[in-house]
Amino acid sequence: MIQKQMQTRLVILLFLVTSTIGGQHERRLLKHLFIEQQHDPLERPTKNDSESVSVHLAFSFINLIDFDIKNNVLITKFWMTQTWQDYSMTWKPQLYGNIDAIRIPTTKIWLPDIVLYNSVDENYDNYMKTNAVVAHTGQILYVSPRIFKSTCSFNTSSFQIVRINITTSTNTIDLSSYVINNKWKLIDSYMTLNEVKYECCPQAYLSVVLTIKIRRVLDDFPININGTENEDK
């Protein structure tokens, strides 16, 4: 009985020692990133001020929550995935207990300035703040759930759900996690990358427009959110 208790205590002790060692490595790594390499969340992650930060953006459409035709308001839910490179957030895993990635609160790192352009929500920046995954190569992955409450009018020639300033993107929207809406049937979805120049600024701004095409289920009246009716039923 005594021997069994000693073995149990030994296992617990070894577990605690292992956990402590892991914590020491991560503590040293955080010191390396934020003190030795002087990472500043206000600083754009580029070695040259003239360089642009390349942000890769992807969307996963989760649900069409509500479509208020009377008030021209569309509410949708997406997972938004952003990836970019930060030269000041790199390290050699072998020097830090083979840690090749860590999770860091987004308040501690630089974030792309991406917001819903035509939001009608007063708390447009009020979303779940998840941690970012930082790899030893300096690649940062940030996945966050977003509820977009945006304006919608059938009288316009084009309806833009989201407009954001980014540098690069793809043209597809992931639908693998989409939850079917009982009132609206999803017909099509895609992203479009646009380049716009304003009189105030010399540089061009890139924006992404998310477009979804839906159809009423109850009366089977085809509606294209871009502002035109869909003749195919």
165 lies in some domain: yes
Domain of 212? 56-224
pLDDT band at 104 (very low <50, low <70, confident <90, very high): very high
Residue 16 lies in a domain: no
Q: Label residue 171 by pLDDT band (50, 70, 90).
A: low
In a domain, 40, yes or no: no
Residue pLDDT, tens place only, 110-169: 998 887 777 777 776 667 788 999 999 999 999 999 888 888 755 433 333 333 333 334
Question: What value does the mean pLDDT of the chain take?
Answer: 75
For residue 12, tell me if it sits in a domain.
Answer: no
**Over residues 187-213, mean pLDDT:** 79
Report the SS3 class of residue 132.
strand
Q: Quick check: is 95 in a domain?
A: yes
- Domain of 78: which CATH number? 2.70.170.10
Does residue 17 belong to any structural domain of this protein? Answer: no
22 has a pLDDT exceeding 60: no
Within-domain flag for 19: no
* Range of lowest pLDDT (18-27, 80-89, 130-139, 176-185): 18-27
Say how many domains are in the chain.
1
In this prediction, residues 211-231 reach a mean pLDDT of 59
In a domain, 109, yes or no: yes
45 to 41, 84, 88, 89, 216: CA distances (angstroms): 9, 9, 7, 9, 45
